[in-house]
Structure 1
């Protein structure tokens, strides 16, 4: 299941990026909901949500590659379904942006990520960035829920607690 989520997210991310590249010119903004929600094409050498800069592209590429490999190794050991879903969403987003870093200009390992979603005064981002963010939230909530459930079960089984 995790592999399907990862591949679907990365594929949707890449397909929408191709659509935006064919539809918009760099720096061009198209209002969808006034100035609050726009499509705005830019090429990001930094991290998610346009953080970081040109000199750190290789570092973000290396981190993303390491993370995707780490998830592939950890995936078979995941016991909680929601933790797995959150991690898969995170990995799918990382893979989507990793593909950009490996295959887009200015060249292999130093490619810029295609960003195109602009909401209010927030940074410009893409589906991969959104998937990473939602994946982190799902993973953390699942971990906290599991931890709380385990404490509750431990308290119920402890004879001293009665």
Structure 2
């Protein structure tokens, strides 16, 4: 009996550690879900709400409207649509290239949200009026007042990008790396799996 236990323990010690699984699939599935939800919501808004119309929901906590944004998030820097389009393409390429070496579930979620949101707004910039690479992004969520009076009008893609960015910042502050390792003490370089 003792020999069998020793033999089993030695076999367990010699066995390779279970391989870590890349989180590429999670990142891509989340990005696809965000992209499809954003695209579907924008198509619904364009088909059912006239530009400038405000529909009050949730007792006025939220208004559904139909606006076009040719600038960055929150209508910042309007007129630089081509630049934002190229930035969105670059972000998407970097995220997809990073996905192959991604083992952290948290980073997969953060980057999946950003990728799905970037692609959602990129489709608008490429295919909507006034033309290729200059299209206006469909924004339709206004909180606490109509027409973005309290907070700028936004869409699901914008929400996903902001949530992904905040999660990414949190992970970076906690020292979580893309490969799933975590830096315990930045001063001495000690690293543990996280």
Q: TM-score, normalised by structure 2?
A: 0.74
Contact map agreement 1:30 1:38 (CA 8 A) in 2: yes
- Partner secondary structure for residue 57 of structure 2: strand
How many corresponding residue pairs? 155
Separation in structure 2 between the aligned mates of residue 146 and residue 79 of structure 1, nearest angstrom: 14
Aligned residue number for residue 166 of structure 2: 137
- Is 1:4 the counterpart of 2:25? The answer is no
Q: Which of the residues 31, 36, 53 maps onto 2:61?
A: 36
Q: Greater shift after overlay, 92-101 or 80-89?
A: 80-89
Distance 1:77 1:21 in 2: 39
Q: Is 2:170 the partner of 1:122?
A: no
Match of 1:104 among 111, 114, 128: 128
Match of 1:160 in 2: none
Superposition RMSD in Å: 2.0
Gap runs ≥5 in structure 1: 158-162
Q: Which residue of 2 aligns with 1:87?
A: 111
* Structure 2 gap ranges (5+): 1-25, 145-149, 177-181
Larger Rg: 2
Q: Distance in 2 between matches of 1:116 and 1:153?
A: 43
Secondary structure of the residue that 1:77 maps to in structure 2?
coil
* Counterpart contact for 1:8–1:92, Cα < 8 Å: yes
| Aligned match for 1:13, one of 24, 38, 48 | 38
Of Structure 1 and Structure 2, the greater helix share is in 1
Distance in 2 (CA, whole Å) between partners of 1:66 and 1:144 is 24
User: Would you say 1:47 and 2:61 are equivalent positions?
Assistant: no
Q: CA deviation at 1:30?
A: 0.5
Greater mean deviation of Cα atoms: 57-66 or 27-36? 27-36
Runs of 4+ in 1 over 3 A off after TM superposition: 152-155
CA-CA distance at 1:154 after TM superposition: 8.8
TM-score scaled by length of structure 1: 0.88
